[in-house]
Structures are given as structure tokens and as C-alpha cells.
Amino acid sequence: MPLSRFLFLLLLLLPRLSQAQQPARPGTARPATAPANPAQPPIVKGSRIELLPGTQELVGGVFNGVQIRKLIGNVSFRQDDAFLYCDSAYQYLGRNEVEAFSNVRVVQNDTVTITGDRGFYDGDRRLARMTGNVTMRDPRMTLTTPSLDYDLNRKTAAYTQGGHLVDPQNTLDSQQGYYDTSSKVFVFIRNVHLVTKDSELNNDTLRYNTISKIAYFNGPTRIKGKQGNLYAERGTYNTVTRVANFERNAKIDTPEYLLGGDKLVYDELKLYGIATGHVNMISKKDNVTLRGDVGRYWRALGRTKVYGGRPVVRNISDRDTLYMAADTLLSVEARPNQASSRSILYAWPKVQIFRKDLQGRCDSLTYDRQDSIIYLNRDPVLWQGKNQLTADSMQIRQKRGKVDQMRLYANSFIVGQDTLLNFNQVKGRNMVAYFRDNKINRVDVLGNAESLYYALENDTATTGMNKAVSANMVLRFADSKLKTISFLTNPDASFIPPHELKGPDQRLKGYSWRVAERPKRRQVLGKQFDDRPPRKAKPKAKAKPAKKPAKKKAAAAPGRKTKAAPLPAKAARPAKSP
């Protein structure tokens, strides 16, 4: 080469070496690798890096004991299935390595392309490190990051300074990441933020398959969507079908409901979810909570069905808590655009009710939460204090969280026990019981009214029994005890003294005292609201020390006399033989 040509090329290269692109001294730009383990087999060297034609070659030399050659202008290399392109480079001849500058590009199998401002390529390990505005592309995604390490043997990429991934459906950001170009699986770590067309996901550890578009996570994860928010600590999320399969403290949070369970599957497109294991549904509007083993949620219909494990509904109002248990609970929310729709809770079968001042049971129940009316159907029975109410069907009407009225329809019957355990009885076609401070204040008996009440003297002795028949009656109470009876329309009353009372006279037709069926608090709450303190484990009894074995007496030597053991001091002397 003419000397003038060499000097001209050298002048072109010197400005590049003086800029930030200029590498450190030869031999110092290799990517950090784990320290060699003497026990591991030696690394198998890769094939030689081949310099392709068309590159302007500069005179090389030895720097710090390393032989290199400097290249400039359309530099390109090849090693097996990989190509490296750049504007200028250092090629380390003795180490099979290349350091590249400006418009660096690595291509493998025409499927993976990595570009950056600067790169280092180890041909023996087939490792590439790219820095400065790095972009990695394959047919399914584009990744940008400040720096990237790429293993051409394993076809894996890793970054630690933050990365931004884009595919046709989603974008994803994280502090660290790892990508397997063969399986098309990404692993993201720290400050992970996945954005889809209709939702956002945030967590600290996420595995994402760019083929199936499924995200796998392990750790606290939040998904924010247009129809509500999801939370879980382990599971999967399909960004295409938008189906979430969650475990560990999974929850759906919508403006109306908070639904959670041990496991949760939720379809955002169908607006349908199913939760299993410790299911808990809270209606935010009226502070109603449903608990059971399985819960199904139809978001579009505003319906939640809870069953399994004897589900329980809890309603807290004005410091009074009402519990209802049944085999199945169905909650229906009022629809915003439908004036006729109402918020209703259905319970069936084997319904049990418990409140501090009211207990009951029936086969099926309807709770109109909008008007605070509870409808009891099929053999209902209620207990309030020492009073028992039965009928073919009933209504409990509430105001401000307290019982205001009870309406009994067909075959209405009230039984109350007095201080002497006598059973006062009233029956009729229909009844309306009025309450004050959750206690019976008045009862109107409407149609075919009959009453049977015992007269007491100072609550210590029975003086007789009042028996009356009338079309209608009005009973007035104080502290849930009968005080007066008013007979309306054609009354017929009689008084029977105690000595004339007979068995049939003491019971009205249809009488049945069912106090054995009265639900208890623990019976209704069951396992769903088990607020009992955990039992303390009994301390294990200390093992008694083993007794030391008695020392064996040495046998007497032959010919040696031994003394006989003396008798105990209190031992009885043997009786003399006759």
C-alpha cells in the first residue's frame, strides 16, 4: 500500500478513536463472566471469526502484548450462523475476539437481529455484549435496552439496566430480563409493568411467552382493567383471551363487589369468574358479605352464586349483625339502566337465621336488600325472646337496621312461654307483629283469631286460663311479655280455673313447640365465620426418667457362708402348725 494511502486512512480512524466510541486499552473490554471453576471442563473453542471481503483493512500491531488489527469502513465478520457488521472494529487475532464501534449489528439465522452503538464478541464462547441504544428484534417482538448480553450457543439474551419490550398486542417494561429466542419465553424481574389493550399488570417477577402471549407470575401481582382490578400472588394471565388463572389470595375488585378465594379463574371478555377455597364476596353498597367454598360471578348480569361448605351471608347494619346460612346463596345486583331491577339475595334450602335478638329457619328465603324485606317461605319459624312465630310464609320488614314488622300469612301461630313455663298461644289466619327496639310491641290477629293465655298471680302461681275466640284481636306487649288482649268483632271468651284444666284445653289446634330447632350462633356461623380463638395446644407431658435397674447381688462363692436377709420389722410371724 502506498504510504500516502496509509496515512490518509489513519487520519480517518484517529477521530473515531478519540471519541466515546473508542475502546479502553485492548484486552479490557471483554464482558464480565463468572469466575472459572477449576472443576469444570475446559471451554471448547469456537471456529475462527472470519473477516468478510469489502472491508478496508488497516495495519495492525501489538498493544499491551495483544496482537490486533484495526478495521474501518463496512466492516463485516462471520462465524458459523452469525454475522457481525459495524463501521469500525478491533479484531484480536490471538483471542478470537472482536470489538466493534458505531452502527454495530449482530444477526443470527436471519431471525435475531441486535443493534447498538458498541459491541464486543467472544468467538470462543460465542458471547456478544452490546451497549448504547441496544435494540433486539425477532419476528415476534422488539426489545430496547441500554446494554444486552447475548449467548449465540444457547440463543439467550439478558439485560440488567432496564428494558422495554413491544409485540403486536402488548408492551412490557422491567429492570432486568432474560429471553430465550428458541422457546420465545421472557423472564422479567423487578418493577415489571405489562400493558395490554385493555389492562395493566404490575409485579416483580413475570415469565412471558411471546408465542402464546401468556404471562406467568409468582409474587404479588395486580391487574388493572376497565371492568375491575385483579390481585393474586401466583398464577397465569392470557393477554389474548384475557383469562386470568390466579392462586394465593386471589381477588376481583369491581365498583360493586370484592370477590376473593384461594383460587380464581376470571374471563375478562365473558365477564365471568369462578373462585374456590375460602370464597369471600363483599357487596360494597350495603356491607353484605357472602362466604363459602365455591363462588361463581357473572359480572354482566350482576350475579354471584356461592355454595359448598354451608355458605353464610353476613349483613352489618347499625351495630346489629344478621347471619343467614343455607346450602346455596345467590346475590343479584340492581342494574343501573333498569329501573325495575332490585338488589336481591336468595338462599335455599335449609335456611338458618341468627341475630342477637332474632333466630329463625325456613326452607327458602328472599332478601330484598333495597327495601330491607326478608321473605321466608315453606315452613318458616322465628324466635324472638321467649316467643315462637310460625305460618305458611312470613315477612321481616326492617328500618334503619332494626326489625320493624313481621307479617305472617296463613295458619299464623304465636307461642310464648311465661315465667312458670306455661305456653300462651294465639292463632289466626294472618298476623302483623309490630316491634319497638327489636322487641314485640303489638300483634294484630286478622281473621279467625283464637287465644289461650294463663293468668298469673305475682308471676308465682297460675290462677286460671283465659280462652277466647274472635274475628280479630289486638295483643299488646311490654318487654316481650303479654299485657292486654283486645277482642274485636263477635268475641266469645271464657275463664277456666286451674282445677278444671284438662290436657286438650291447654293446646290450640296446630300447636307445636319447636325450640329444639332454634339455631345457635355457632351453628349458623359454621366454619365460614369461625371467630373462636385458636385452641392452645396441650403441653406435652415430660417423660419420666427411666428407673435404674437394680444391681444384681453377686453369687456366693462355693464353700462361703452367706447371712440370710433379715425379715421386715412389721412382717407377721408365720403361724405355728397345729
Say what the pLDDT of residue 569 is.
39
| pLDDT for the residue 41 | 47
Report pLDDT for 503: 80
Q: Let me know: does 391 contact 406? Beta carbons within 8 Å.
A: no
% of the chain beyond a pLDDT of 70:
85
Does pLDDT of 576 surpass 60? no
Nearest to 261 by CA among 271, 275, 282: 275
At a CB cut-off of 8 Å and minimum separation 6, what does 472 contact? 428, 444, 445, 446, 447, 449, 488, 489
Determine whether 253 is exposed, middle or buried from the number of CB atoms within 10 Å of its CB (0-12, 13-18, 19+).
middle
Which residue reads 349483625 in cell numbers?
321
Rounded to an integer, the average pLDDT of 24-45 is 46
Residue 287, CA distances (Å) to 50, 401, 495 in order? 74, 12, 51
Q: Which residues pair with 131 in a beta bridge?
A: 118, 147
pLDDT band at 144 (very low <50, low <70, confident <90, very high): very high
Please tell me the predicted confidence (pLDDT) of residue 381. Answer: 97
pLDDT reported for residue 287: 82
Residues 532-541: tens digit of each pLDDT? 777 776 666 6
Q: How far apart are CA 290 and CA 281, in angstroms?
A: 5
Residue 409 confidence (pLDDT): 97
Mean pLDDT of 476-498: 86
364 against 271, higher pLDDT: 364
Give residue-wise pLDDT tens across range 87-135. 999 999 888 999 999 999 999 988 899 999 999 999 999 999 999 999 9
Q: How confident is the model at residue 314 (pLDDT cuts 50, 70, 90)?
A: very high
**What digits encode the pLDDT tens for the residues 268-277?**
889 899 999 9
Cell 354482566 sits at which residue? 300
Strand boundaries in 210-355, DSSP class E: 214-225, 228-238, 243-253, 257-267, 272-283, 288-298, 303-307, 312-317, 320-325, 328-332, 344-348, 351-355
Most confident of 31-45, 408-422, 562-576: 408-422
Task: Give per-residue pLDDT as tens, 215-243.
Answer: 999 899 999 988 789 899 999 999 889 89
Model confidence at 547, in pLDDT bands (50, 70, 90)? low
